[in-house]
C-alpha cells in the first residue's frame, strides 16, 4: 500500500505535489508520527492529536522544528489544497533520501469499518509482543509488518498485544476496552499508547456515570469478559466479535450505548468546529 494519497502534501512547511513525496520519505525502522481523521473538512479532535504529537517528540528526544500554531495552520492549508472531504492525515518526522530530517503532513490511505463490522464485530488475534515505549507514538516498522502479516494470513481485523506476563495491553493500531457486568475496563495508561479516542470514551463514561476503571486484564481472564471493543481514529468504537477462537456478543446494552454516545460526541464536535 502506498504511504500517501491525494494531490498535495507539505514538507518542511512547503506545499508540494505528491510526485515529489518519495524524495522526502525514507524512514528508518522507527519514526515519530501522528494520524487524525478529517470529517467534512474538519480535523477531528485535532487539539488532542497535536498534544500527543508534541508529547511524543519530548519522549523521543526529537525536535519537530515547528510550533503548535504553525503546524495547525499547515493542517488547514493541506485540507484546503486537497479540497477537504473525509480521510486521514498523517504527520511524520522522517529522514529523506538526502539523509536530512523532514517534517511531513499528508493524506494517508485509510480503511474505515463497514456497517456490518459495527453491527457484528470484528475478529482479533492475540500476539505475544510489546512496544518498547508505549506512551510515545513511534512507528515500529518491524512490529507493524508482523501484525499486518498476521491480519492477512489469519483473516483478522486487528492484533491485540500481550506482554511478557500475559496481560493484554493494546491493539497494533488501537486501544482495547473490556466490559464486565456494568463496568468498563481498559488497560492502565502507562502500559499503552494514550489514544485520543480512548480518552474521549473515558470522558463519556465519566459524564454519563458509567463505571470505569483502568486495570490489567490477563489473557486467562477473557472468560470473565462479557464483551470487548476497540477504539481508534479510524475505528471509533468498534465491537470485537471474536478473540482467537472465542466468540463474544456484540449486542451488549452498555456497548451499544457507548457506540451511540461516541457517534453523537463526534457529530457535536464537527458541528461546533464547522461554525
Q: What is the CATH number of the domain that holds 229?
A: 3.20.10.10
User: CB–CB of 38/86 below 8 Å?
Assistant: yes
- Same domain (yes/no): 122, 253: yes
Of 108, 126, 161, which residue is a domain's last?
A: 108
Which pLDDT does position 131 carry in this prediction?
A: 84
Q: How far is it, in rounded angstroms, from Cα 260 to Cα 77?
A: 32
DSSP string, the chain: --S--SSEEEETTEEEEGGGGGGT----SEEEEEEEEEETTEETTHHHHHHHHHHHHHHHT---SS-HHHHHHHHHHHHHHTT--SEEEEEEEEE-TTS-EEEEEEEE---PPPHHHHHH-EEEEEEE---SSTTS-EEEHHHHHHHHHHHHHHT-SEEEEE-TTSEEEEESSSEEEEEETTEEEE--GGGS---HHHHHHHHHHHHTT-EEEE--EEGGGGGG-SEEEEEETTTEEEEEEEETTEE--S--HHHHHHHHHHHHHHHHHHHHHH-
Q: At residue 3, does pLDDT exceed 60? A: yes
- Same domain (yes/no): 222, 256: yes
Q: Is residue 207 exposed (0-12), middle (13-18) or buried (19+ Cβ within 10 Å)?
A: exposed
What's 13's domain CATH number? 3.30.470.10
Please give the average per-residue pLDDT across 202-223, as a whole number: 97
- Same domain (yes/no): 97, 122: no
With a pLDDT cut of 70, the percent of the chain lying above it is 96
- Same domain (yes/no): 191, 227: yes
Q: Quickly state the pLDDT bin for 140 (edges 50, 70, 90).
A: confident
Q: How high does pLDDT run on average in the chain? A: 93
Q: At residue 29, does pLDDT exceed 70? A: no
Q: Quickly state the pLDDT bin for 142 (edges 50, 70, 90).
A: confident
Of 70, 88, 108, which residue is a domain's last?
A: 108
- Same domain (yes/no): 90, 139: no
Which pLDDT does position 195 carry in this prediction?
A: 95
For the chain, report the end-to-end CA distance as a whole number of angstroms. 36
- Same domain (yes/no): 241, 172: yes
pLDDT in tens, 49-63: 999 999 999 988 888
Which pLDDT does position 274 carry in this prediction?
A: 87
Which residue range forms the structural domain that includes residue 198?
115-271
Please give the average per-residue pLDDT across 132-140, as a whole number: 75
- Same domain (yes/no): 53, 183: no
Q: At residue 1, does pLDDT exceed 70? A: no
| Assigned domain for 1 exists | no
Domain count, the chain: 2
Q: At residue 76, does pLDDT exceed 70? A: yes
Cell numbers at 142, concatenated: 518491524
- Same domain (yes/no): 135, 158: yes
Cell numbers at 245, concatenated: 477462537
Which pLDDT does position 77 carry in this prediction?
A: 97
- Same domain (yes/no): 100, 213: no
**Worst-scoring range by mean pLDDT, 53-67, 117-131, 156-170?**
53-67
Q: At residue 111, does pLDDT exceed 70? A: yes
Q: At residue 199, does pLDDT exceed 60? A: yes
Which pLDDT does position 137 carry in this prediction?
A: 76
Please give the average per-residue pLDDT across 49-78, as a whole number: 93
Which pLDDT does position 60 carry in this prediction?
A: 85
Of 108, 125, 154, which residue is a domain's last?
A: 108
- Same domain (yes/no): 53, 89: yes
Q: Quickly state the pLDDT bin for 19 (edges 50, 70, 90).
A: very high
Q: At residue 136, does pLDDT exceed 80? A: no
Bridging pattern class, strands 175-180 and 183-186: antiparallel
Distances in whole angstroms, Cα of residue 131 to Cα of each of 147, 166, 268: 12, 14, 34
| Assigned domain for 87 exists | yes
Q: At residue 103, does pLDDT exceed 90? A: yes
Cell numbers at 44, concatenated: 477531528
- Same domain (yes/no): 43, 133: no
Q: At residue 134, does pLDDT exceed 90? A: no
| Assigned domain for 206 exists | yes
Amino acid at each position: 500500500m502506498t504511504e500517501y494519497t491525494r494531490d498535495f502534501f507539505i514538507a518542511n512547511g512547503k506545499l508540494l505535489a505528491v510526485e515529489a513525496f518519495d524524495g522526502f520519505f525514507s524512514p528508518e525502522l522507527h519514526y515519530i508520527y501522528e494520524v487524525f481523521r478529517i470529517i467534512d473538512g474538519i480535523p477531528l479532535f485535532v487539539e488532542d492529536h497535536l498534544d500527543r504529537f508534541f508529547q511524543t517528540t519530548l519522549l523521543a528526544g526529537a525536535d519537530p522544528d515547528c510550533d503548535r500554531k504553525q503546524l495547525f495552520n499547515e493542517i488547514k492549508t493541506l485540507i484546503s489544497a486537497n479540497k477537504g472531504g473525509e480521510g486521514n492525515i498523517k504527520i511524520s518526522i522522517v529522514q529523506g533520501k538526502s539523509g536530512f530530517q523532514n517534517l511531513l503532513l499528508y493524506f494517508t490511505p485509510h480503511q474505515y469499518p463497514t456497517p456490518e463490522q459495527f453491527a457484528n464485530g470484528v475478529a482479533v488475534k492475540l500476539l505475544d509482543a510489546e512496544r518498547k515505549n508505549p506512551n510515545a507514538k513511534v512507528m515500529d516498522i518491524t512490529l507493524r509488518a508482523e501484525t499486518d502479516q498476521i491480519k492477512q494470513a489469519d483473516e483478522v481485523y486487528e492484533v491485540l498485544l500481550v506482554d511478557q506476563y500475559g496481560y493484554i495491553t493494546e491493539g497494533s493500531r488501537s486501544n482495547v476496552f473490556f466490559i464486565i457486568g456494568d463496568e468498563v475496563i481498559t488497560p492502565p495508561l502507562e502500559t499503552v499508547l494514550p489514544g485520543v479516542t480512548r480518552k474521549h470514551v473515558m470522558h463519556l463514561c465519566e459524564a454519563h456515570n458509567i463505571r470505569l476503571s483502568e486495570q490489567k486484564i490477563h489473557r486467562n481472564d477473557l472468560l470473565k469478559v462479557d464483551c470487548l471493543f476497540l477504539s481508534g481514529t479510524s475505528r471509533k468504537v468498534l465491537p470485537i466479535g471474536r478473540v482467537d477462537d472465542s466468540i463474544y456478543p456484540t449486542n451488549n446494552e452498555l456497548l451499544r450505548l457507548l457506540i451511540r454516545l461516541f457517534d453523537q460526541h463526534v457529530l457535536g464536535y464537527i458541528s461546533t468546529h464547522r461554525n
